[in-house]
Structure 1
C-alpha cells in the first residue's frame, strides 16, 4: 500500500477506508472486513456515531496498533469544547493516541474554528494526536486559520471526484504543504457511469471504481472509499496496482463539471455534524 509523508513526518496509507453512513450496529463487522481485506487506514468521525464500532473492530483484529492509522473528527457543535470532545472520541475508539484529528467543517457562522484549532495544537503538543488537520476548509478558511496557527494543518479532507475536483483549492493546499484527502471519491457512485471511465476500465480489465481511485492516487491524493461489501473492499484496495497513462489521466480530469454532491462549506452549519 502506498504511503504519503505528511508535513510533520508522519506517514499515512494513501488508500484508506471510510465509514460515513455505516450504521453503528454494522460498523464493527464492516471495519473487521476492511481490516481483513488489508486496509490499515480507517476514517471515522464523532458525527458518524460509529467510533465505538471502529474501536471494537480494532480491538478484535489483533493487528498491532502501530500498523494502523485512525482518523476521527471534531463535531461542529463541539468546536467550543474541542479538548473534551476529543477525549470522548478517543475513549470511544479505545485508543491512547489518535493518528489524525480533523476539524470536520469550518462553520464560519460560529466563528470558532480558530479557537478549536488552538485546542488541537495543545493536544498535538501533548502527543495525544500524531497529526492535526481540517476538513471542508475553503481557501479563505485556510487563510484565516493560518493567520493564527502555530501548526500548519497536515491534511485538508475535501470532496473531490472527477466531476468535482476543486483543483484551485487542492493546489493551494499542496503549495502550503497540506496534504489533500478526497471524500466521496467516486462522486457518490455517479461518476462510475461515465463512458470515459468505462472505456479506460475495459482497457485495464478493471472496475470503474478502480480506475477512478487510481486517478486519485496518481495525483498524490489520499482517498477513502467506502463499501459494506467485502468483495468491493478488495477490488477498491487493488486500485493501488493500476497505473494509468498520462492520456487516460487527462481524460478523467476533463470530466470536471462543478458537480458538488455535498454541502457548500461556505454556508454549511448543520447540527448533524
Structure 2
C-alpha cells in the first residue's frame, strides 16, 4: 500500500473522528440518565439513535485508520489521526465551547508537529503476530478494565487518558490482526474490545469536561504510546537524519494538546 493512500486515509479518519467527538459529546449530554458503568452504558447506547449514528461514523473512521496503520509507520498513522483535534476544536463551537487565543495557537502547534512527523517518517514495520503479542494484548485489556473500575470517579482529563490507552491497544492490535492464524484472530478480537473500552471511557470524559479538553489527553496518549511501541517493538523506521524532527514533532504536538487540556475553555452545557 502506498504512502500517499495511507496518509490520505489517516487524514480522512481524522476528519470523521473530529466531528464524531462533538456529536458524541452531544449524545452523552442530552441524556437525562447518564450511565457511567460499562454495562449500563451499552444498554442505554444501543437504544439511542444519535449514539448509534456516532458509532457508525467511528466505524467508518476506524476502517480508514486501519488503512493508515497498514500503510504508514504507527507513529505517523497515529499522528495523522491526531489531526482530529483541530477539527474537534472548530466543531465544538456548535456546543458553545469557546477557545481562547492561546488554545488556537495550541492547535497550530499540534498541526506543525504533525507536519514534522509526516516529513520525517520512514518505512512501516512488518505485520506482527506471536503468542506473546496476543497474550500481552489481552493482559492489557484486563489492566485497562481494572483501571477503569478504580478510576470511575476521576476527572474528565484522567478518564480521557484511559480512553486513549483503549485506542492505543486497538491501534497496536491492528498490526497483528491481518494474519488468519489463531494469534491473528486473538489480536483481531482484542481490537473490538479495546475500541469499546475507549469509546465508553471517552463518553464518560466528555460528560465531565469540554470536548477539546477531553480530546487533548486522549489524543496525546493514543499518539505517544503507540509511536513508542511502533519504533521500539514493531520495527517502524525513521528517515535517515530525521530523528530530531520526529522528537520535535512529538513534543510539539504533545505540548499543544496539553495546553488545550488546560483551563480557559468554557464548560460543557446540556443540549436538549
TM-score tier by shorter-chain length is under 0.3
TM-score by length of 1: 0.26
TM-score by length of 2: 0.26
